[in-house]
Amino acid sequence: MFIEVDSIGQQNIALLVDREQHPVLYTSEIETPVCADGECKLMHIRLYWTLLGDYAGFDRYPQQPLTKHDHDEFVQADYLKLHLLLLDDKSIFRQRKIDELVKKPSPSDHGDVDALSGATIAEVKESVVSGALYSCYVAWHLVHGEIAGKLKEHTLGLLDKELILRMLHNEDPDYQMFALEKLAKEEYLDHLERIATIFKSSIPLVRSYIIKNLPEEFWNIRANQIPFWDAFSNIDINSRSLLLEHLEEAPESSIVEVSNKLGSMTKNQLRLFLDFLAVRNNEPEILENLKVFANKENEIYAYLVLQFIEDY
């Protein structure tokens, strides 16, 4: 595989593997000219992408450091700033051309002057390395250009069950989501322990996907649900709402547990839970939890529970 680099042409992309020959990352050693005040110097940087084509990091070469205006060398803070910029795939760089990111110089201009001999506009000044707009712009487009899609496509060609499961057991939410999308719904039950762990620790988008795609067989076996309900008070609002849609299938022990976590609910969630309790015979422990909550002065929705108790 190759990446197209302006004025240089194609440069190789390598697939890095671990000791067991499992694919890990993509990488490319980039050389591209950066010019300032009529002088050009090669920028040497080694870029890394995940197996899904997302930016993963870069290496610098100690003997060939990145440079700024007047060819001053990057310091450690500059490298960190470049890394944070490259992490942002929504950067303004995606919509703007390089000449739209600088103000035309004039005798009265003062400020950071970059390789294009103009002051960097305010919208990007804080996110780029001072005096290195062109280097930052080039690096960002190398990372987030067409190559990202090509790398993901290449990974799809490598995909097998082992790679899917390795991604499922990765801590990166993007890998987790990718693996969950590739699993058939019936396979969720085969990997339920790992999926429950992901549900507890991952991002809201992944949690929501899990709940929406758990197979019907999952909800028919109450014991399967316990780890998910146990996480109730520690997950995001939307995931809690999705779980509450399955109260009818929930194990009784989880309903008791949720009744002790009323403070984590929104007003609508609390009403939904109380409506569920209103048409059933509830265990004494549930009613006791409701009474405790209703008597808490710092709970703004305590009045809802108090009214429920009176009506019940």
Q: What is the pLDDT of residues 266-304, one digit of tens each?
A: 999 999 999 999 999 999 999 999 999 999 999 999 999
Asked if 293 and 287 touch (Cβ cutoff 8 Å), the reply is no
How many Cβ atoms from other residues are within 10 Å of residue 9's Cβ? 9
Query: Using one digit for the tens of pLDDT, what is the confidence trace for 92-112?
Result: 777 667 665 665 555 554 444
Lowest mean pLDDT: which of 92-96, 178-182, 255-259, 264-268? 92-96
Helix axes 173-182, 192-201, angle to 10 degrees: 140
Listed ranges 45-49, 65-69, 101-105; the one with the highest mean pLDDT: 45-49
140 CA to centre of own chain? 18
Residues listed for the chain: 312
DSSP state of 64: B
Beta strand spans in the chain (E): 2-5, 9-12, 14-17, 23-36, 39-49, 55-59, 102-103, 119-120
User: For residue 279, what are the contacts with CB-CB under 8 A and spacing of at least 6?
Assistant: none
The Cα–Cα gap between 57 and 48 comes to: 5
The Cα–Cα gap between 63 and 227 comes to: 52
What is the reported pLDDT for 69? 78
Per-residue pLDDT at 117 exceeds 50: no
Asked if 212 and 199 touch (Cβ cutoff 8 Å), the reply is no
Token pair recorded at residue 277: 């309790």
DSSP state of 121: P
Beta-bridge partner residues of 32: 43
* Prediction pTM value: 0.85
Per-residue pLDDT at 37 exceeds 90: no
